Structure 1
Amino acid sequence: MSTEPPEAGSQELAARPAGGTPLRDTRVPHMPFAWVSPLLAGAAAALVLRIAFGGLPGQRYSAMLGSFVFLAPAVCGAVTVYMAERIKRRGWGYYVCVPWVSTALFVLGTLLVYIEGIICAIVIVPLFSVMGSLGGLAMGIVCRITHWPKPALYGFAVLPLVLGAIEPHWPNPDQISRTSRTLFIAAPAERVWHELNDARDIRPSEVGDAWAYRIGVPMPVAGVTEDTPEGRVRKVQWQKNVHFEEIVTEWRPLQRVSWRYRFSPDSFPAGALDDHVVIGGHYFDLRDSAYTLTPREGGTELRIDVSWRVSTRFNWYADRVAQFLLGDFSEHILRFYKARSESAAAVA
């Protein structure tokens, strides 16, 4: 019985005639830097898919569809392993780990050609790495136990294109979540209340350590509550000309203020955020926030509550990212109000 590995699985031995003399050597010739060619091939294949998935949010071939988010990195890993197996047999560790590099190259390529923003790139890399490993492992198994790795690879590549055309007809599930943080401030409630409703000239050094701002979300510049004909409205400005309104829904002076967010078509200028995941958009929205002030001995306890919506095929992942980023943001914004309130109280 022949124990030779299948066609695309290893260094193929030449076909032999009855006399046992090799007819020809079909191995892929060794080339300098051959180890990098599978990585580049995998990254290039996924990049082609990203270009194909350039549709608008909620439409066919949007980059936020599950058919792209799950399958593009899987194709990247599958192509990487297939090309590597054409050179020589690889181990299981290669199937799992090397696709991490090719998916990272893929993400880097999307940044270099300006079809992806830095925020999405950073956020999606962990999920892409896992899916790349699964695609590489699947192709490794195909190469070891079958004689048709090339048809399998074609199937890998076509599947996201087929699903990308029909997936928008399926409704996205909505998931509503909330986070809460509390901090003690050594200042009276009057001082804290004032800072909540009249935050001006916010410096990057006051909030810049939050992870959301580290990965590219514009930093806040001001947030001021004003009386308008429709009621109290907190007007917010961020860097990069981002602006939006917070409609006050509860107003108990020195005790509690809450608001819902209102975004206009020009709230986020082009390039301010990644265009397909803007706040208030098809896939993500901030719903409301509230601050509660509780007098304590020596100061005030300030609590923030924030709720949001995610609507994707991968809510289990997107919501955890939102939990981390918004939880971290909440902690830093409380520290901002603490620093300002305590500083103003000390001056007074």
Structure 2
Amino acid sequence: MSKQKVITILKIVFLPTIYAILLRLLFGVSTWKELFDVMSVSFLFCLPLIVGALTIYLSSVENVENLAYRIMVPWIPIFLFFVITLFFALEGWACWLMVLPLFMVVASVGGLIGGYYKLKEKNNTLYVSLFVLLPFFIAPVENMIGKIPGTYKAYTYIDIQAPDSKIWKNVTRVKEIRADQDKGLLTQTLGFPRPVKAELNFEGVGAYREAIFTNGLVFHEAVSEYIDKKKMVFSIKAYPHEIPSATMDEHVVIGGEYFDVLNGTYELEKLNNTTYRLHLYSHFKLTTTFNFYASWWARWIMKDIQNNILQIVKSRAEKE
């Protein structure tokens, strides 16, 4: 491989990566948070768009003429950017895993835009230079609009062949859950804390329990509505100051600036003489400028946690 070719490859891969790192550092400065924020459309959408455009614009015309090249090559600096930010702990694994699909799609769109300008005959260096500055124009406008809080629901249920008394006993008092009983695939992949135990201090309105998870995560729950063996509604509160900093990424911490769980409800429905359906749903709040994307992940995470708990209740009630 010639020296010129090596330089070209380095330019194509590392210049967009360096741009991405610099943008992450600038948007991560806490004193500038009122103007630039990592949890914003101007960062999460503009960064991969510009990285994709730069990667392709810096490539040779021969390569750019290949559609697959324009779509897939922008992923290389994106992956490299992820590795670097993880290595230096600029971001957590869970946060990046959730934005990876978005970054890949948007980077490909940026690659198509960069290819369009690259294949045009006239010099478009000025346009590309202005394109690189796009986040700094969009961020102030986005901050003027502000974050829009939204409340969402995660609904799950499971059918259990057991008496209602046994089911309800395992709802109100969840005994210690061993690691091998945890079936929360998504939360395990993201490295989220797993449920350990939860127990009401009494059965009725005003009752209190702590839903304890690993790594110091605790949900404080207070019962606001109670019908024995039929329904239990409870508020949920997690206090960020109680959660060790290593437990969750600051951008996805429960009870933090962007994501909070509000309440949960258990309802037990009789299907026939041997089977009951246990419903579990929760409401959670998101406060971002991209709730349309964040709500998908938040709902999947909450449903994964709920399905995991329902499976444990079913297994224990049916075995007793």
User: Do the structures match in fold with TM over 0.5?
Assistant: yes
Q: Choose which of 7, 24, 30 in structure 2 pairs with 1:50.
A: 24
Give secondary structure in 1 for the equivalent of 2:200: strand
- CA deviation string 1:298-335 (max 9, x = no partner): 24321111222223222222122223232333322211
What is the one-letter code of the residue matched to 1:31? K
Shift in CA distance, 298/220, structure 1 to aligned 2, threshold 3 Å:
same
Identity of aligned residues (%): 26
For the pair 1:320 / 2:296, whether they are aligned, the reply is yes
Q: Choose which of 58, 73, 86 in structure 1 pairs with 2:48.
A: 73
Alignment root-mean-square deviation, CA: 2.5
Q: Choose which of 208, 221, 228 in structure 2 pairs with 1:253.
A: 228
TM-superposed CA distance for 1:121, in Å, is 0.7
The corresponding residue for 1:311 is 287
- Stretches of structure 2 that go unaligned for 5 or more consecutive residues are none
Contact 1:73 1:132 in 2 (8 A): yes
Give secondary structure in 2 for the equivalent of 1:195: helix
Give secondary structure in 2 for the equivalent of 1:127: helix
More helix by share: 2
- Stretches of structure 1 that go unaligned for 5 or more consecutive residues are 1-27
Q: Choose which of 177, 180, 194 in structure 2 pairs with 1:205.
A: 180
What is the one-letter code of the residue matched to 1:42? P
Shift in CA distance, 253/161, structure 1 to aligned 2, threshold 3 Å:
same
- Cα distance in 1 between the residues matched to 2:241 and 2:64: 54
Shift in CA distance, 89/95, structure 1 to aligned 2, threshold 3 Å:
closer
What is the one-letter code of the residue matched to 1:190? S
TM-superposed CA distance for 1:29, in Å, is 6.5
**Structure 2 matches for 1:1-348, cutoff 5 A?**
30-32=4-6, 34-35=8-9, 37-55=11-29, 59-85=34-60, 89-145=64-120, 147-226=122-201, 231-295=206-270, 296-343=272-319, 345=320
Give secondary structure in 2 for the equivalent of 1:257: strand
- Cα distance in 2 between the residues matched to 1:205 and 1:59: 44
Give secondary structure in 2 for the equivalent of 1:182: strand
Counting matched residue pairs gives: 316
TM-superposed CA distance for 1:143, in Å, is 1.6
- Cα distance in 1 between the residues matched to 2:72 and 2:7: 19
Give secondary structure in 1 for the equivalent of 2:157: strand
What is the one-letter code of the residue matched to 1:325? I
- CA deviation string 1:39-71 (max 9, x = no partner): 232222112111111145973322101100010
Shift in CA distance, 330/109, structure 1 to aligned 2, threshold 3 Å:
same
TM-superposed CA distance for 1:176, in Å, is 2.2
- Cα distance in 1 between the residues matched to 2:136 and 2:162: 58
Shift in CA distance, 88/298, structure 1 to aligned 2, threshold 3 Å:
closer
What is the one-letter code of the residue matched to 1:122? L
Give secondary structure in 1 for the equivalent of 2:251: helix
Shift in CA distance, 134/285, structure 1 to aligned 2, threshold 3 Å:
same
TM-score, scaled to structure 2:
0.89
Contact 2:263 2:284 in 1 (8 A): yes
TM-score, scaled to structure 1:
0.83
- Cα distance in 1 between the residues matched to 2:148 and 2:163: 44
Bigger radius of gyration among the two? 1
Give secondary structure in 1 for the equivalent of 2:241: coil
